[in-house]
Chains A and B, each alone.
Chain A
Amino acid sequence: EAGVAQSPRYKIIEKRQSVAFWCNPISGHATLYWYQQILGQGPKLLIQFQNNGVVDDSQLPKDRFSAERLKGVDSTLKIQPAKLEDSAVYLCASSLVTSGANVLTFGAGSRLTVL
């Protein structure tokens, strides 16, 4: 089974620029998550999709962050304009079901550095 694919792996931008990250979840996984992991911290949930609908985006800074999941498969997370504090690893995860333990499979992440 192929894993969760993310790109780009690394991105360096200046503050106030924009950036987009792409995620391809495991085939058949209906639920997709974007997490932000700041250095030395645990991952923090930004947004959860069920198929192509948003289930939870309560912690997404909507003034600068946006995400979409077209056709219920791939997803894109965008930051515009970026701030210094957005420097982090952006992790995409997917899961097959959302009951019980709801095991998440994570991608390797996209590391963003904002200068």
Chain B
Amino acid sequence: QKEVEQDPGPLSVPEGAIVSLNCTYSNSAFQYFMWYRQYSRKGPELLMYTYSSGNKEDGRFTAQVDKSSKYISLFIRDSQPSDSATYLCALRASGGGADGLTFGKGTHLIIQP
């Protein structure tokens, strides 16, 4: 079993729809949960991060973490064509030292105008 599982899609939805993107993970040491957005031929850029379980909202985006189920989600409300991109979940264990992020494969999202 891989450390982080993410459905690669593609996921195609009409403009204005609510989008749900998800990742599951196996390592209970992960404490920080991030979502990165990556446009074609660009580097990933941070959208949101959460620490431990709970929800966090930022505009049209909501990140949700359920540590008991080892399940994280990103919801996008009122989706726009400009949201079309690959969304990568990224996880990190707590503590200093070696702390590179562990990424999911990414979900390719297409918002149809």
Contacts and interface: CB of A to CB of B under 8 A. Distances in A.
Contacts of A108: 41-43
Nearest to A9: B41
Interface in A29-63: 33, 35, 40-45, 48, 55-56, 58
B32 A101 contact: yes
B8 A103 contact: no
Interface string A96-115: 00111111111111010000
B6 A102 contact: no
A77 interface: no
A55 B43 CA distance: 23
Interface in B94-113: 96-106
B18 interface: no
Interface string B42-58: 11111001010000000
A13 interface: no
- Residues of B in contact with A, size category: 20 to 34
Contact of B45 (A35, A41, A106): A106
A98 B44 CA distance: 18
A21 B63 CA distance: 35
Given A42-B104, A104-B46, 15 more contacts: A4-B43, A42-B103, A48-B100, A56-B98, A56-B100, A58-B98, A91-B44, A93-B43, A98-B97, A99-B96, A100-B32, A101-B34, A101-B51, A105-B45, A109-B41
Which 6 residue pairs across A and B have the least CB separation, nearest first?
A: A42-B103, A106-B43, A56-B98, A45-B100, A101-B49, A42-B105
27 contacts: A40-B105, A41-B106, A42-B4, A42-B6, A42-B90, A42-B104, A42-B105, A42-B106, A43-B101, A44-B103, A48-B99, A55-B97, A56-B97, A56-B98, A91-B43, A98-B96, A98-B99, A100-B51, A101-B32, A101-B34, A104-B46, A104-B101, A105-B46, A106-B44, A108-B41, A109-B41, A109-B43
